[in-house]
Structure 1
Amino acid sequence: MFDCSQGSGSGGTSPFASSVSPNGSLGDTNMASDTPQSVPSRVSKSLGAPKPQSSSQLGPRKGHKKSRGGCFSCKRRKIKCQETLPACLNCLRRSLECKYPEVPTHEVDMMTVLRRHMTKPSAALQSTPTLFSMDDMRFFQHFILNAYPHLPVNNSQVWMQTVPAFSHNYDYLMHAMLGLAATHLTSVTNVDYSEAALSHRLLAIQGFNKALSKKIEKKPDGDALLATMYSLTFQSAFMSDSLMEFLIMVRGCVMLSNQLLSQSSIAFFVIDWYSHQQYMEPRLDSLPFVDLSLADGAEASLEALKFVLEDEVNGFYYHELTNVVSGIKVSSKLGYWRLVSIYNVIGMLSDAKFNDFANPNNTIGQILLAHFMALEVVLLPMLEREYEKTFPTNQLINRCSWFDTIEKSVPPEFRHFIQWPAGILNDARARWKSMTPSIL
């Protein structure tokens, strides 16, 4: 049976606890009862019952984290809910209707997003999660040949040779690789592998969260975690309606990379910023200047936004975008370096500020993200230098679908703020659709 239940690790702290950790965990309750089984006392009756200790003798009560995401049935009965989907174990045992409270979109963590969008898992994964189908074999080959992430830069051999060589030791990594490849194949062929892609993605995140709670013990453990995080991030880049997931995953990449570097837990990947610079500097030489009319358009569009920023986090991101535009006016190379540094900005935000900024109801934040997507298009000739092979235009076509979602959500009185990114992205979409390759 395909198991969607979650275990909460206690062996360590995940840097993504607020982003990709599951909502709840299986408790230690007996499966046949809601209350713990009684245990015979070893104290002789002749000694009498022990006197209860006062609260001062016991000391302060140990704190614990309460979950408010349990189903209504468990809340009504005042018992711990496992918070599994489609129904918790308590309701399944008693054949009760299991309904959960609605959670605002910006508060839904990654696991909840995936589980609530999850369709019927593939039969192979449902019955035997460690066995793989013939489609999975195709996904594995496609990952190595066409779908592995291009980041961190200058790690192609690690992705094509080293990661596949040790992936069989890490189920969650294998599922992440297969999920990315399945999503990528769906985007470049006429075959829909989205069901298998989501099944693999769910299993990858489940295993990834468990692995994060454990201590890194052997050489490839850190590389397996990093490869999984990048694969999940790149998969979200090809998924429709996944802008929020993409931002969460980008944040996860930044935080995990910093943690692994500080612990010297990377054996194969080269991920430090200095190495990125060393690799990219010669590849950015002799670049043509960006059309300054595009930079002028971006500058004017952002200038109009200056008076409606509303809060600190929008202002912070706005400042980063204006730095990119001013950099473009100096040189293409400076514009590139300032653009890629924005990804690190997402990882630097506190949980509260990140949630405020990425909240789909933050209209100004969404408009700023639309400007970022448009600036990526403007600087595409520079971004293409990160790749050792053909740039995946289908990934950027998907970014245009994210923009469409933003455009529909913007109130009429704010529509004029997205005219510049709309023009850039719509023009680019028409060009990309005519040149997207098909891999069969």
Structure 2
Amino acid sequence: MRFFHHFLTQCYPHHPLKQEEIWTHEIPCIAHNHEFLMHAILGFAASELGRTRAEGSVVAAAMNHRVKAIRALKKRLAEASSARLTHEEANALVATCFVLTFQSVSLDDGLAEYMTFIRGILIVGMQMAFRGIKPVFETLLDDKQNELLAPLMEGMPLIERGWVDGAVEAIAKLRPLCVDEIEVEYHGQLLAIAETLYTSSFDGNIQGQLEGAIILLHTHWIALAQIMAFITERERDVREKHPSPEDDRMDPGFVRWLKYLNARVDGEHQMYNRWPIWVDGQLDQDLTFFGRRS
């Protein structure tokens, strides 16, 4: 009960934008009907509690609920092509993917699962569109999120040029290491985002075993997201309500992934990873160096 209450009052997801009432009313009302959603909610809330309370039992409960949520989610998705998908269940599935995505940020090695559940949101969302099922999240599959942010982005200054120069130079140097098609595509997208920051902060805004170029691309992606922190702060301004903070400590969020992955860059590739290490170093000294993260 403590976990469920914490979710309702403190740690419901802030995406999709301006959907706080959905997260604190509609989603909790259907959670008891769907095992995957209930376990996802309890696991995420336990992870957030574990961040502020050093209780081993809370951390264990967080992972236990997460495992159960993922197991139940996989089982239902495997049946999705043949079994009838109701309006309530479809929305429960997409909500589960959102909650598991947010919890992934709390895990040192959660990047792969973060990307998996982002993909899950898109897959379930497309299935809903194909079947004519209306999402309970009104801004799920359209451009409304950009429309909500646009007024807050008007007149926003460009990111400090030196930071962008460092990002572009470091990412460009990774190109010779990218051999596979997916690596080349990943690199191209990452470089394009960084180069866009020279002219527009808003247009540059982004939301298994890893090795070689892929790890480097990941470290540069996460580092790039850090220098854009003051842009993503604007998402908080869109929210219609905010949880009342129980303490003033900030969650490092993606930064824990940066540190985790930086440590896994082998000696052969360290020369390509100097910029992400520099970004991590600035954040070690001051977590708000590039902007406050909520």
> Normalised by the shorter chain, which TM-score bucket?
0.7 to 0.9
Structure 2 CA distance for partners of 1:411 and 1:171, relative to 1, 3 Å: closer
Letter in 2 for 1:303: A
**Aligned to 2:132, which of 249, 256, 264?**
264
> Which of structures 1 and 2 has the bigger CA Rg?
1
- Corresponding residue of 2:121: 253
- Corresponding residue of 1:134: none
Q: 1:278, 1:292 → 2: CA distance?
A: 26
Deviation per residue, 1:345-396 (Å, 9 max, x gap):
xxxxxxxxxxxxx6412x111111111111111111111222224899855x
Verify the 8 A CA contact 1:158 1:268 in the aligned structure 2.
Answer: yes
- Corresponding residue of 1:364: 213
Letter in 1 for 2:67: L
- Secondary structure of the 1:330 match is coil
Counterparts of residues 15-414 of structure 1 (less than 5 Å): 137-192=1-56, 193-212=58-77, 213-214=79-80, 215-270=83-138, 271-336=140-205, 339-340=206-207, 359-361=209-211, 363-387=212-236, 388=239, 389=242, 394-395=250-251, 397-414=252-269
Question: Displacement, 1:265?
Answer: 2.1
Q: 1:393, 1:335 → 2: CA distance?
A: 28
Q: 2:116, 2:85 → 1: CA distance?
A: 27
Verify the 8 A CA contact 1:370 1:406 in the aligned structure 2.
Answer: yes
Verify the 8 A CA contact 1:173 1:204 in the aligned structure 2.
Answer: yes
Question: Displacement, 1:433?
Answer: 8.5
Verify the 8 A CA contact 1:188 1:394 in the aligned structure 2.
Answer: no
Deviation per residue, 1:88-118 (Å, 9 max, x gap):
xxxxxxxxxxxxxxxxxxxxxxxxxxxxxxx
Q: 1:205, 1:400 → 2: CA distance?
A: 24
Letter in 2 for 1:373: I
TM-score of the aligned structures, taking structure 1 as reference length = 0.59
Q: 1:223, 1:266 → 2: CA distance?
A: 9
Verify the 8 A CA contact 2:111 2:257 in the aligned structure 1.
Answer: yes
Letter in 1 for 2:113: E
Verify the 8 A CA contact 2:158 2:200 in the aligned structure 1.
Answer: yes
Verify the 8 A CA contact 2:37 2:93 in the aligned structure 1.
Answer: yes
Q: 2:266, 2:73 → 1: CA distance?
A: 38
- Counting matched residue pairs gives 280
Q: 2:180, 2:76 → 1: CA distance?
A: 37
Deviation per residue, 1:27-67 (Å, 9 max, x gap):
xxxxxxxxxxxxxxxxxxxxxxxxxxxxxxxxxxxxxxxxx
Q: 2:129, 2:250 → 1: CA distance?
A: 32
Question: Displacement, 1:161?
Answer: 1.0
Q: 2:143, 2:182 → 1: CA distance?
A: 28
Verify the 8 A CA contact 2:223 2:258 in the aligned structure 1.
Answer: no
- Secondary structure of the 2:174 match is helix
Q: Which has the higher helix share?
A: 2
Q: 1:266, 1:430 → 2: CA distance?
A: 46
Deviation per residue, 1:159-188 (Å, 9 max, x gap):
011111221221221111010000111113
Question: Displacement, 1:322?
Answer: 1.0
Deviation per residue, 1:306-335 (Å, 9 max, x gap):
222122211101111111111100011111
Deviation per residue, 1:222-269 (Å, 9 max, x gap):
110111111111111111222222222222222222222232223411
Identify the structure with bigger relative contact order (alpha carbons < 8 Å, sequence gap 6+): 2
Q: 2:165, 2:31 → 1: CA distance?
A: 47
Letter in 2 for 1:252: G
- Secondary structure of the 1:281 match is helix
Q: 2:262, 2:86 → 1: CA distance?
A: 47
Structure 2 CA distance for partners of 1:144 and 1:436, relative to 1, 3 Å: farther
- Secondary structure of the 1:240 match is coil
Structure 2 CA distance for partners of 1:393 and 1:298, relative to 1, 3 Å: farther
Verify the 8 A CA contact 1:400 1:426 in the aligned structure 2.
Answer: no
Letter in 2 for 1:244: A
Verify the 8 A CA contact 1:140 1:177 in the aligned structure 2.
Answer: yes
Structure 2 CA distance for partners of 1:225 and 1:321, relative to 1, 3 Å: same
Q: 2:134, 2:35 → 1: CA distance?
A: 19
Structure 2 unaligned segments of length 5 or more: list them. Answer: none
Verify the 8 A CA contact 1:301 1:417 in the aligned structure 2.
Answer: yes
Letter in 2 for 1:191: E
Structure 2 CA distance for partners of 1:304 and 1:216, relative to 1, 3 Å: same
Verify the 8 A CA contact 1:216 1:222 in the aligned structure 2.
Answer: no
- Secondary structure of the 1:169 match is coil
